[in-house]
Amino acid sequence: MGISSLNQLEKHLTLTQEERNWFSFPSTLPLLVSEHVMSLINKDDPEDPIRKQFIPTCFENMDDLGGLDPLEEEKHSETKRLIHRYANRAALLTTDRCFSYCRHCFRRRFTSNSSGPINEKELEEAASYLAEHKEIKEVLLTGGDMFTLSDEHISMMLKTLKEARADIIYRLCTRAIATYPERFTEKLFETLKLHNWGAPYYLMTQFNHPREITSETERIISSFLKLGIIPMNQAVLLKGVNDSVDVLEELSNKLLATRIKPYYLFQGDLVNGTEHLRVKIERGLEIEKELRKRLSGLAMPQYTIDLPEGGGKVILTHDYTNGHENGKWVFTSPYGGSREYPEKK
Ligand SMILES: *Cc1c(COP(=O)(O)O)cnc(C)c1O
Ligand code: SF4
């Protein structure tokens, strides 16, 4: 399923030297590109933003950023599959597989590491942990990509989780709407419908470039909405892909028009092999500032960094407060000049 060897890849693309060289020392994350993703790539453009996200280059072997688990997820794992870093929410690693592997993947320690789909024992472990930890209100079903699991497997998983804790908000996290839209069949939605009771699900998508949103996206999002499942997007800020105000403005507006709320825009994590895709925070903040002027509040994602060593997420934004004196706050207006706001007495 998909393109996974040099031979197959060369049938589709004329490779650059950097891309070809990756195959001499392939990095920890394998090559896998779906036919759908391949169809989105403009073959004549070596700088194509979709190509940069999925076709590896030898640059992946040239940095030593921060190991493979910069967020110390392993240290925060309570069962083999459950990461419990924040008191009120947790993340369940449902499988290590994806339909296409993103070269910026921050979970390289786990993605495609052959741990495979979650088995019944691991699921039971996670479910009993959730049953005992009532402080957990939300769980991210992530990986990998949960929709690489079969309908039967998803059904078994949702049944077990709902029976353990129907009051938890489960987030269905997936990149597959962008990489493998044919996965979203009637039968899959029937399966989800069967387990659509208790607290609502939320859908967490990953679209990084406006060209990833197609007519298929609209069809899939409508089906989720028919089940009352609200879609939110988590994008990653990536050099040469979307480190541009125009591209991110178009992405956000296109997401909104497709009924997806832009939620996060992530600063790249310090994962080995991703340095060439990272954007300077200083540049990210500039982009954020300009975006805030151009986008509506609804269209604006939160530019966010996930701190190293499991420090948690921090929102990055230009600081509009400009001190606080003589009982007054001074603010910089995003549209120019400054304004005073008297503190409450
Ligand atoms: C990001 C993350 C969450 C969810 O955080 P939100 O800010 O609520 O989206 C939960 N658990 C882990 C381990 C995470 O990395
Ligand atoms: S879909 Fe997610 S887990 Fe899979 S390779 Fe892309 S970023 Fe990593």
Q: What is the DSSP string of 189-207?
A: HHHHHHT--SSPPEEEE--
* Confidence at residue 264, expressed as pLDDT on a 0 to 100 scale: 98
CA 253 to chain CA centroid, Å, is 18
pLDDT confidence band for 253 (50 / 70 / 90) = very high
> Which residues, 6+ apart, have CB-to-CB distance to 29 below 8 Å?
56, 60, 101, 103, 105, 108, 111, 112, 273
Residues with catalytic function: 85-86, 89, 98, 102, 105, 107, 269, 306, 313
- Ligand 2 proximal residues by C-beta, below 6 Å: 98, 101-102, 105, 107, 111, 143-145, 175
What backbone phi and psi angles, to 5 degrees, belong to 265?
-120, 110
pLDDT confidence band for 78 (50 / 70 / 90) = confident
**Residue-averaged pLDDT of the chain:** 95
- pLDDT above 80 (res 66): no
* Confidence at residue 229, expressed as pLDDT on a 0 to 100 scale: 98
Q: Which of 85-94, 251-260, 322-331 has the lowest mean pLDDT?
A: 322-331
Kindly state the percentage of the chain with pLDDT values over 70: 100
From the CA of 89, how far away is ligand 2's center (Å)?
A: 20
Kindly state the percentage of the chain with pLDDT values over 90: 86
Q: Ligand 1 within 6 A of 136 CB?
A: no
* Beta-strand relationship, 261-266 and 302-307: parallel
What Cα–Cα distance (Å) separates residue 340 from each residue in 135, 319, 321, 324, 334? Answer: 41, 15, 10, 9, 14
* Confidence at residue 70, expressed as pLDDT on a 0 to 100 scale: 81
Q: Which of 13-22, 72-81, 295-304, 306-315 has the lowest mean pLDDT?
A: 72-81
What Cα–Cα distance (Å) separates residue 277 from each residue in 54, 316, 317? Answer: 12, 19, 21
Q: Which residue's CA is the closest to the ligand 2 atom numbered 3?
A: 144
**Across 244-268, average pLDDT:** 98
- Are 61 and 26 within 8 A, CB to CB? no
> For the purposes of burial, counting CB atoms within 10 Å of the CB of 169, is it exposed (0-12), middle (13-18) or buried (19 or more)?
middle
